[in-house]
Amino acid sequence: MSQIEQLFSSIESNFDEWTQNFPPMIIDSSDPLSIQKFQNCLQRMKPEVALSVAKTVFLGDYRYILNQVMIPCDIIQTRNDMVIPDSVPEYMKSKISGKCEVHFIDTDGHFPQLTAHIQFVEVLDRILGI
């Protein structure tokens, strides 16, 4: 069974346990408050909704349309993301037809808007020219 299939299975078979175990895997462990907030958010979801969202996120594949993207793009990525390896934004940049820049935030986890919000806003400020 693949890791993604295991994830789906854990959502279906033991949703409460999954809501406790998943957030610490993808959010910077040095930020327990953000982990707790994300856990609370997941726990408010119905299991079938969480499964549907997870399938949409992990099974959606739109690589085939990247070359059709002509508008300028900015991709923000953390340095150590358990969900998205560094190769993904670099791949996307190489395939997008429009101007594209990748901005790395030197933090762990998948949600820099939660755990490294100051750096995240600084990147947005640079992108927007503020």
Q: Each residue's pLDDT tens digit in the chain (130 positions)?
A: 788 899 999 999 999 999 999 999 999 888 999 999 999 999 999 999 999 999 999 999 999 999 999 999 999 999 989 889 989 999 999 999 999 999 999 999 999 998 899 999 999 999 999 7
pTM, to two decimals: 0.83
What length does the chain have?
Answer: 130
The DSSP secondary-structure symbol of 8 reads: H
At 43, which helix (H) or strand (E)? helix 32-43
Rounded Cα–Cα distance for residues 36 and 45 (Å): 15
> Structural domain boundaries of the chain?
3-59, 63-128
pLDDT at 62 (0 to 100): 94
Under 8 Å CB-to-CB from 97, ≥6 apart: which residues? Answer: 66, 67, 68, 69, 70
pLDDT at 82 (0 to 100): 86
Rounded Cα–Cα distance for residues 79 and 90 (Å): 12
Rounded Cα–Cα distance for residues 74 and 108 (Å): 19
DSSP 44-83: TS-HHHHHHHHHHHHH---GGGGGG--S-EEEEEEEE-SS
